């Protein structure tokens, strides 16, 4: 969608004008984008920071104008970025008006423009901002490359802002959510599955300044309180893209050297690793109250909108884990606050509206539920999903709609016919009274309500590579594959329990006996099969981990359910007594699996 929905015109939030104001603003922009009297777009070569997954640019008004001022502050300034970007944040000198706002429109093609965004100074308190500047809120601009803006002082009058800059961010490269979400594997109280910095694509070079010096060295202090925030960004943004954008915004735009929060939670209930160092690492999320607190951030804006049940469950789970040695319903002194709730909102320690009115009213429920989890009365693991990532499904109604996001407020990508073959990519996400899943077909991709899907009775890989000559492979494995459509394991518990002799180790198995040293596994390894590249292999275990590297310590990308089919890319590579094969899923995810749990159809 081409706009950020808004809460209202309070500082630090984005808002939109009515239709008449939009037309007036558009006419003003079209009347002439005069910059310094030159009558053309401003041109400036932005300094760029590029890492493995994130590119950032900075447009400087002073550099563009060459120390001149705009002839007429009522005219929009326009510029074209040197690459498409997905998020931006304005900033201006600390000598400027802290109550100033920026009116901004963006476009992907220079023809179709967004509605105006009104951006004020961000209200999140952490370390002092870069160079003492006033930093505007981070806003989503998916695929933008063209910008128009003008600036206002705190009284609402058009006026230039000293040292005005815009940081724009492309965090679209790197892993997608379906590649990194690692669902829960145990019903016991333990930390929720956390998507690591490496998995969501954190560019660790952003933590270091010139000469390789770490900007925000890690310090540790035991957790005394859990402080919950919201990002005050649009709800239902692509979570991993948003993670990388927030990281750049904090590390570079605000000059903090790292992401402020210890953990972040998305609308599907995934929990992400934030600040380097884990939960006891001192963050930069609550000015004056960072040391001794774990900062947990909900991705989105919750002034009027409620969290999804999936997000709520994840907040309870991670808050329970962070407060596991505390009384989650109690209070305790914290710095100058004589009685601060163990689990509190950002507004309880700083003068801010964070984490939004709607969620703040739910904090008492979070505390009560966390107490039950810590005392073993409730299981924090969410109920099994109806559909899990990688499952083959078909639509059960004519004219079902695929949408851009998980909700009726999102635009329709396309209607789909009855019986359309689809592969589930991610979900669930509850919104508008329905449970949504992102799915992909041969030529389409989008979100659909789960009640419009049924298992595909003829499940097969989408666009899978052809099977090579069977003569090139070893005899069929004795294991019997389980068809994916018969009894799939839930996405939240994709890995089998280990056998009794390995359960005490606490290590997560890659299949029922991956880590075992018993005679059954030894005989299995003696009968390893050989799979030629291009072979379509079937998972012959109830669940099989797909790892980043051919080793048991390799990060788990996802779990492949029994009967799931993937294409062999390379292998075998022997490691830890296991013959590892690199495989590619129909959704394009590549990783390594234990070949003893593969067979051919």
Q: 450-493: per-residue pLDDT in tens? A: 999 999 888 764 443 333 333 333 222 222 333 332 233 333 33
pLDDT, greater one: 230 or 511? 230
> Where residue 527 falls among pLDDT bands split at 50, 70, 90?
low
Distances (CA, A) of 304 to 220, 232, 249, 300: 35, 12, 25, 11
Q: Which of 357, 381, 368 is nearest to 304 (CA)?
A: 357
State residue 188's pLDDT score. Answer: 46
Q: What is the C-alpha to C-alpha distance for residues 96 and 100, in angstroms, rounded to an integer?
A: 8
> What is the predicted pLDDT for the residue at 15?
35
Confidence band, pLDDT 50/70/90 cuts, at residue 141: very high
Mean per-residue pLDDT, 504-514? 38
CA-nearest of 554, 601, 596, 588 to 571 is 596
Identity of the highest mean pLDDT range in 208-222, 338-352, 395-409, 496-510: 338-352
Whether the domain at 177-374 and the domain at 470-599 fall into the same CATH topology: no
pLDDT of residue 489: 36
Q: What is the pLDDT of residue 343?
A: 97
- Which one has a higher pLDDT value, 484 or 323? 323
Most confident residue range from 24-33, 59-68, 367-376: 367-376
Element (H, E) at 295: strand 293-298
pLDDT band at 153 (very low <50, low <70, confident <90, very high): very high
Largest CA distance in the chain: 83
Comparing C-alpha atoms, which of 13, 135, 16, 70 is closest to residue 79? 70
Residue 242: both structure tokens together: 């948003």
CATH architecture of the domain with range 470-599: Roll (2.30)
Query: Please, are residues 148 and 306 in contact by the beta-carbon 8 Å criterion?
Result: no
Within 10 angstroms of residue 432's Cβ, the number of other Cβ atoms is: 12
Residue 170, pLDDT above cutoff 60: yes
Decide yes or no: CATH 3.30.40.230 for domain 177-374: no
The whole-number average pLDDT for the span 392-400 is: 90
Nearest to 238 by CA among 439, 405, 401: 405
Helices (H) and strands (E) in the chain, counts: 10, 30
Report d(CA 15, CA 117) in Å as an integer: 6
- The pLDDT, as a whole number, for residue 291 is 95
Least confident interval from 101-105, 263-267, 543-547:
543-547
Mean pLDDT of 247-254: 95
Tokens of 281: 């690492």
pLDDT over threshold 70, residue 36: no
Q: What is the pTM of this model?
A: 0.59
CB of 459 closer than 8 Å to CB of 392:
yes
pLDDT in the model for residue 127? 82
What is the model's pLDDT at position 317? Answer: 94
Angle subtended at Cα 210 by Cα 206 and Cα 212, rounded to the nearest 5 degrees: 70
| Cα separation, 291 vs 311, whole angstroms | 26
Least confident stretch, 107-121, 315-329, 369-383: 369-383
Q: pLDDT at residue 47 above 50?
A: yes
Q: Residue 410: CA atoms inside 13 Å, Cβ hemisphere, count? A: 21
Q: Would you list the domain boundaries of the chain?
A: 19-170, 177-374, 392-455, 470-599
CATH hierarchy code of domain 392-455: 2.30.30.40
Rounded to whole angstroms, what are the CA distances from 286 to 145, 291, 295, 580? Answer: 33, 9, 8, 46
Average pLDDT rounded to a whole number, residues 544-563? 81
Only one residue has tokens 């802002």, namely 161
Note the pLDDT of residue 179: 64
* CA distances from residue 137 to 124, 172, 403 in whole angstroms, order as listed: 9, 20, 27
Q: Which residue has the higher pLDDT, 94 or 496?
A: 94
Q: Is the pLDDT of residue 234 over 60?
A: yes
Which segment of 20-24, 159-163, 168-172, 491-495 scores lowest on mean pLDDT?
20-24
First to last CA, the chain: 42
């Amino acid at each position: 969608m081409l706009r950020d929905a808004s809460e209202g015109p309070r500082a630090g939030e984005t808002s939109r004008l009515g239709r008449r104001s939009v037309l007036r603003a558009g006419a003003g922009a079209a009347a002439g984008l005069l910059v310094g009297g030159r009558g053309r777009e401003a041109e400036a070569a932005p300094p760029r920071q590029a890492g493995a997954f994130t590119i950032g640019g900075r447009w400087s008004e002073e550099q563009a104008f060459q120390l001149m001022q705009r002839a007429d502050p009522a005219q929009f300034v326009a510029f074209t970025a040197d690459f498409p970007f997905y998020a931006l944040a304005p900033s201006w000198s600390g000598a400027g008006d802290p109550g100033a706002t920026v009116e901004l429109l963006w476009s992907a093609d220079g023809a179709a423009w967004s509605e105006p965004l009104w951006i004020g100074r961000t209200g999140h308190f952490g370390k002092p901002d870069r160079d003492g500047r006033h930093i505007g809120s981070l806003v989503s601009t998916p695929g933008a490359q063209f910008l128009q803006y003008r600036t206002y002082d705190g009284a609402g009058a058009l006026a230039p802002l000293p040292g005005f800059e815009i940081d724009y961010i492309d965090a679209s490269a790197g892993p997608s959510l379906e590649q990194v979400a690692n669902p829960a594997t145990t019903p016991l109280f333990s930390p929720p599955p956390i998507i690591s910095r490496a998995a969501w694509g954190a560019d660790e070079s952003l933590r270091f300044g010139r000469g390789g010096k770490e900007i925000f060295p890690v310090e540790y202090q035991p957790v005394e309180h859990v402080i919950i925030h919201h990002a005050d960004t649009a709800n239902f943004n692509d979570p991993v893209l948003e993670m990388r954008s927030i990281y750049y915004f904090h590390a570079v735009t605000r000059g903090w050297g790292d992401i402020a929060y210890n953990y972040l939670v998305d609308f599907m209930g995934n929990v992400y690793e934030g600040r380097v160092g884990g939960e006891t690492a001192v963050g930069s999320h609550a000015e004056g109250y960072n040391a001794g607190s774990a900062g947990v951030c909900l991705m989105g804006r919750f002034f009027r909108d409620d969290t999804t049940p999936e997000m709520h469950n994840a907040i309870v789970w991670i808050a329970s884990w962070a407060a596991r040695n505390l009384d989650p319903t109690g209070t305790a002194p914290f710095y100058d606050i004589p009685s601060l709730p163990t689990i509190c909102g950002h507004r309880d320690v700083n003068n801010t509206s964070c984490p939004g009115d709607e969620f703040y009213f739910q904090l008492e429920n979070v505390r009560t539920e966390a107490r039950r989890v810590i005392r073993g009365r409730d299981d924090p693991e969410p109920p099994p999903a109806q559909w899990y990532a990688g499952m083959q499904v078909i639509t059960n109604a004519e004219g079902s709609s695929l949408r851009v996001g998980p909700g009726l407020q999102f635009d329709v990508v396309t209607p789909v016919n009855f019986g359309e073959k689809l592969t589930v990519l991610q979900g669930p996400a509850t919104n508008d009274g329905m449970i949504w899943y992102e799915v992909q077909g041969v030529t389409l991709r989008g979100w659909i309500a789960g009640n419009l899907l049924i298992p595909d009775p003829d499940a097969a890989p989408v666009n899978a590579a052809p099977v090579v000559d069977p003569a090139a492979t070893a005899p069929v494995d004795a294991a019997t594959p389980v068809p994916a459509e018969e009894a799939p394991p839930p996405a939240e518990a994709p890995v089998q329990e280990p056998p009794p002799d390995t359960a005490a180790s606490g290590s997560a198995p890659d299949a029922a006996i991956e880590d075992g040293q018993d005679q059954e596994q030894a005989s299995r390894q003696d009968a390893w099969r050989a799979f030629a590249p291009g072979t379509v292999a079937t998972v012959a275990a109830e669940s099989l981990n797909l790892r980043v590297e051919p080793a048991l310590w390799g990060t788990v990308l996802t779990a492949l359910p029994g009967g799931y089919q993937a294409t062999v890319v390379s292998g075998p590579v022997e490691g830890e007594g296991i013959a590892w094969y690199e495989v590619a899923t129909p959704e394009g995810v590549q990783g390594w699996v234990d070949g003893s749990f593969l067979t051919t159809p």
